[in-house]
């Protein structure tokens, strides 16, 4: 299972996104905005990117990293899901994908501009949109459960395109299972390994898909980086989220210790994406106190240290710098425990 899916499950992001519904006043405000020209511009930019060859996309942006496993299996034709029963039933026409992606690109680009981030990151949403996969339930659960077994994953996906019923049977013990049910309850996630954003298109309600994508776009916005720590461990950061290379060197696992950080890294990362989601769509109907506290911390830190400093640390994947920034303004955060260096 991808580490970003595990992060979502661990931090209860599944419950957060599943419970999220578009705030009526926010939705009305969005519909009332006279932004037709901006939306058409975003759609035109998105369309131009969609027809470019992949190598040109990879080289087009200095704030766009090179994923470890960039190859993506082609999405199956919509006809593959015809006649399947729940939970594998799927209506691909429920979402106008190009229109949705065009609006999300516009929203995230405007948010980036309002935050005063580098121009490169203001343009990055259009690039992210070219790497969004709207997947059927079978494809979503398969790529999530078998990311560490690419041969079996791809064999199942190939079979699904021509023999969907046989592919479902071939899942074997993987479905039904507790893990599979948890994955299938997820609306979407950004997969750092492939650099792709995967949407469980049958699960996310059409009314919520923009909100969900704004959240995941912000997980995809940072430029991930990898380095070797003083103790020899290989570490990776994406936004504020920290991972370390496992002993087998086959997988990345979330970094458990909090040294040098005011909060757990996955909470800091989730709080940033949730803040942007809420700025667009309003707060969730089901608040999470532990996340609200971290969001409050980030907002206060922006107030005392400057928005550009906090967003710069996030987009350049410098979680320890955010810890140092909080230490430098400790008088503004008396509730925080003193944090040791990383």
Tell me which H or E stretch contains 243.
strand 241-245
In a domain, 342, yes or no: no
In a domain, 306, yes or no: yes
Kindly indicate the confidence band of residue 5, based on its pLDDT and cuts at 50, 70 and 90: low
Kindly indicate the confidence band of residue 273, based on its pLDDT and cuts at 50, 70 and 90: very high
Q: What is the pLDDT of residue 151?
A: 94
| Confidence check: pLDDT of 244 > 70 | yes
In a domain, 41, yes or no: yes
Q: What is the pLDDT of residue 312?
A: 96
| Confidence check: pLDDT of 16 > 70 | no
In a domain, 339, yes or no: no
| Confidence check: pLDDT of 46 > 90 | no
Q: What is the DSSP letter of 197?
A: E
102-125 pLDDT, tens digit per residue, is: 999 999 999 999 999 999 999 999
Q: What is the pLDDT of residue 7?
A: 53
Kindly indicate the confidence band of residue 8, based on its pLDDT and cuts at 50, 70 and 90: low
In a domain, 31, yes or no: yes
Q: Tell me which of 70-84, 187-201, 297-311 is least confident.
A: 70-84
Per the structure, the count of domains in the chain is 1
Please tell me the distance from the alpha carbon of residue 112 to that of residue 62, in angstroms, as a whole number. 16
In a domain, 242, yes or no: yes
Q: Tell me which of 2-11, 44-53, 116-125 is least confident.
A: 44-53
Please tell me the distance from the alpha carbon of residue 128 to that of residue 229, in angstroms, as a whole number. 30
In a domain, 337, yes or no: no
Kindly indicate the confidence band of residue 338, based on its pLDDT and cuts at 50, 70 and 90: low
pTM, two decimal places? 0.83
Q: What is the pLDDT of residue 248?
A: 76
The two structure tokens encoding residue 315: 């987009």
Domain span including residue 124: 3-332
| Confidence check: pLDDT of 29 > 60 | no
**String of DSSP letters for 32-84:** HS--HHHHHHHHHHHHHHHTS-HHHHHHS-TT----SS---PPPPPGGGGTTP
Q: Assign 3 to helix, strand or coil.
A: helix
In a domain, 271, yes or no: yes
- Of 273, 217, 296, 288, give the one whose Cα is nearest residue 16: 288
Instruction: Rank 59-73, 214-228, 273-287 by mean pLDDT and report only the highest.
Output: 214-228
């Amino acid at each position: 299972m991808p580490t970003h899916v595990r992060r979502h499950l661990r931090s209860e992001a599944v419950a957060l996104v599943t419970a999220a519904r578009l705030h009526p006043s926010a939705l009305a405000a969005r519909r009332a905005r006279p932004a037709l020209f901006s939306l058409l511009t975003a759609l035109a930019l998105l369309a131009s990117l969609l027809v470019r060859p992949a190598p040109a996309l990879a080289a087009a942006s200095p704030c766009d990293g090179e994923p470890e496993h960039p190859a993506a299996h082609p999405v199956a034709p919509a006809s593959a899901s015809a006649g399947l029963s729940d939970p594998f039933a799927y209506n691909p026409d429920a979402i106008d994908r190009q229109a949705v992606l065009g609006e999300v690109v516009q929203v995230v680009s405007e948010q980036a501009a309002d935050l005063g981030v580098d121009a490169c990151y203001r343009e990055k949403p259009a690039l992210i949109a070219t790497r969004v996969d709207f997947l059927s339930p079978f494809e979503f659960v398969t790529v999530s459960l078998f990311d560490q077994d690419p041969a079996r994953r791809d064999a199942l996906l190939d079979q699904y395109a021509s023999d969907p019923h046989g592919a479902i049977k071939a899942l074997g013990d993987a479905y039904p299972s507790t893990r599979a049910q948890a994955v299938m309850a997820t609306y979407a996630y950004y997969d750092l390994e492939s650099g792709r954003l995967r949407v469980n298109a049958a699960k996310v309600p059409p009314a919520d898909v923009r909100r969900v994508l704004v959240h995941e776009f912000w997980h995809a916005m940072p430029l991930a980086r990898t380095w070797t720590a003083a103790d020899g461990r290989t570490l990776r950061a994406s936004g504020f989220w920290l991972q370390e290379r496992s002993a087998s060197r086959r997988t990345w696992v979330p970094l458990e210790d909090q040294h040098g950080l005011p909060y757990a890294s996955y909470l800091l990362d989730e709080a940033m994406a949730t803040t942007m989601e809420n700025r667009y769509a309003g707060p969730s109907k089901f608040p999470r106190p532990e996340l609200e506290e971290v969001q409050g911390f980030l907002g206060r830190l922006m107030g005392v240290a400057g928005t550009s400093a906090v967003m710069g640390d996030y987009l350049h994947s410098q979680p320890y710098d955010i810890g140092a920034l909080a230490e430098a303004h400790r008088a503004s955060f008396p509730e925080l425990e003193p944090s040791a260096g990383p």
